[in-house]
Chains A and B, each alone.
Chain A
Amino acid sequence: MTLTVTRSRRAAHSAPSARWRSRKVQGWLYAAPTAVIVGVLFIAPLVLVVWMSLNRWPLLGPATFNAPANYVKIADNPLFVDAVLFTLKYTAITTVLLSGVALGLALLVQERRPGIAFFRTAFFLPGAVGFAAAGLLFYGMLNNDFGPIDPMLQSLGITSEPIKWIGTPNMALFSTITLVLWRFAGFNMLILLTGLQAIPTEVYEAARSDGANRWQIFTRITLPLLRPTLALMLILSVTGSLLAFDQFFVFTNGGPDNSTVSMVMVVYRDAFFRFDLGGAAALSVVLLVALVGLNTLMMRRLR
């Protein structure tokens, strides 16, 4: 590629029109790797997922056209219907708690003061840990025999016996949400901090000189001016939660009794345990259309 570029560049000196054409060619050459990656690994799978969803597509062996059987089947998949309800519930709780905690943290570390950089780093640091590692960390930390949390709660007199952290559906959901808050609160705090710092200090000074108290400043100035940033955070949180997979796969493994099976987990199980790639593709298409629609709607309403 080096050669082609330099050669066409040399030719460019001869005539203006040739030079213009060579600029176009050069632009294309620089963008070519991007075009190949986007075309082969993004556009092609997008087309393929639709085609797959219209076929009986076993993990091994030839595919046969069977539309719309894969889509019809979705309604009869009780695990998926349960997973949709569970994922919606998880998304609602996570988004509300995550927004609240992240906003609280962001307000606490908003002003530059001595030592504040340390706290920002401390809150964000779990975000650098991968979900698989974080899931295994909590798996050990909340284990009844090995983990430190049960003995701590008992010695403080808060509980009298070990808690079934992932042993009942409600506790499994609670524990997973705690894990997600730990991992993502700092990440969302960073997003909100960028929004908070974009609010001009003069606005606050003007409000203060008009005699507004802290609560009034928060509800009348901070929140409204933070709206675009809050919207971005909400979209990221809702999308991320609706597509939750790692935390449930690693931490609860969908249990107990399939009570924490998320939508993406059903896609995974259909594909690699029931060897039904066509069915998994149909579920993927439904999720894709729903999420793109939802994102568009949210952006329009919130911006």
Chain B
Amino acid sequence: MSRYLTLSALAVLFLFPLVWSGYASLEEPSNYLEMARFGEGIDTYAVNSVLVSAMTVGGTLIVSALGGYGFARFDFPGKNVLFLATLAILMVPYATILIPLYVLLGYLGLQNSLVGLSLVFVMFQLPFALFMMRNAFEAVPRELEEAALVDGCGTFRAFSRILLHAVRPALITVGLFAFLASWNDFFAPLILLNDGSSFTLPVAVVSMTQHTFGAIDYGMLQAGVMVMALPCLILFIVLQRHYVRGFMSGALRG
């Protein structure tokens, strides 16, 4: 029983900030309207965030599913080198290659672009995603695709029509990780986006505090926190089984 008392007290401590933020934002519902008018309008930033997350999730799923299938089922020269190079992304600290990425995206004409930012996110997701997808495809019985191949469809038809369904749990896990990472990230968009109209939610709402002259409207700020946090909280609660499974597979980024 005392264990449940301790646990309850701790749960209150952990949940209190979230509950308070929701409460503070709703104390005056006009907070949300005021925040909606901030800067270019909250809708601009929300749309940017949704676009970046959608492109990151889509890009990560496509690249890692194709790659995972290739690595699981085919032998080709350079396979091991490429796999190790991808895993090496985990070894190199994120923050240390953002400055050259900023310059590089400039060469590619992708500076200050949501597409460029999404590609960078796909790259950071790739070690975990590729590892997950390769393992998922390896766990699919070979008979399943051999039957399809005998029926005369090419490997790509077998892959897209049959195997992708078989690895759906892994796709959901990879997609969830990609969404949380891209929706929440602050540092990469801070560096790679420099025009107010292309900001994502975290950068826009943080700039609300740092470029306000005079008093900060704290209620409005908490409305911003809620707009950023709620999609993640809901998605996590719905899909937590997949999140925990992703953890168990051992590959993760802190």
Contacts and interface: CB of A to CB of B under 8 A. Distances in A.
A125 B184 contact: no
Nearest to A4: B156
A7 to B, nearest CB: 8
B97 A284 contact: yes
B82 A34 contact: yes
Interface stretch (A115-123, A155-163, A215-223): A115-123
A41 B115 CA distance: 13
A50 B76 CA distance: 31
Interface stretch (B66-74, B138-146, B165-173): B66-74
Tell me the dominant secondary structure on chain B's binding face: helix
Interface in B146-171: 154-157
B202 interface: yes
B89 A125 contact: no
A128 B232 contact: yes
A171 interface: no
Contact of A49 (B10, B85, B97, B157): B97
A141 interface: yes
Interface residues of A, number: 93
A135 B209 CA distance: 11
Contact of B18 (A125, A135, A249): A125
B214 interface: no
Nearest to A197: B248
A267 B95 contact: yes
Given A37-B126, A38-B86, A119-B7, A243 B94 contact: yes
B74 A26 contact: yes
Interface residue range, chain B = 35 or more
Contacts of A199: none
B93 interface: yes
A31 B70 contact: yes
Nearest to A270: B99
B85 A288 contact: no
13 contacts: A23-B74, A26-B70, A29-B70, A31-B71, A33-B66, A45-B97, A49-B99, A49-B100, A121-B240, A128-B235, A141-B17, A271-B191, A295-B91
Interface of B: 3-4, 6-7, 10-11, 14-15, 17-18, 20-21, 24, 62-64, 66-67, 69-71, 73-79, 82, 85-86, 88-89, 91-97, 99-104, 108, 119-120, 122-123, 126, 130, 154-157, 180, 183-187, 190-191, 202-203, 205-206, 209-210, 218-219, 221-222, 224-225, 228-229, 232-233, 235-237, 240, 244, 247-248, 250, 252, 254
Interface of A: 1-2, 5-6, 9-10, 23-31, 33-35, 37-38, 40-46, 48-49, 52, 57, 105, 108-109, 115, 118-119, 121-126, 128-133, 135-141, 143, 146-148, 182, 185-187, 190-191, 194, 236-237, 239-240, 242-243, 245-246, 249-250, 253, 264, 267-268, 271-272, 277, 280-281, 284-285, 287-288, 291-292, 295
Given A118-B11, A128-B235, A288-B93, 13 more contacts: A24-B74, A24-B76, A31-B71, A33-B63, A34-B70, A37-B126, A122-B11, A129-B228, A132-B203, A135-B206, A136-B224, A249-B190, A277-B103
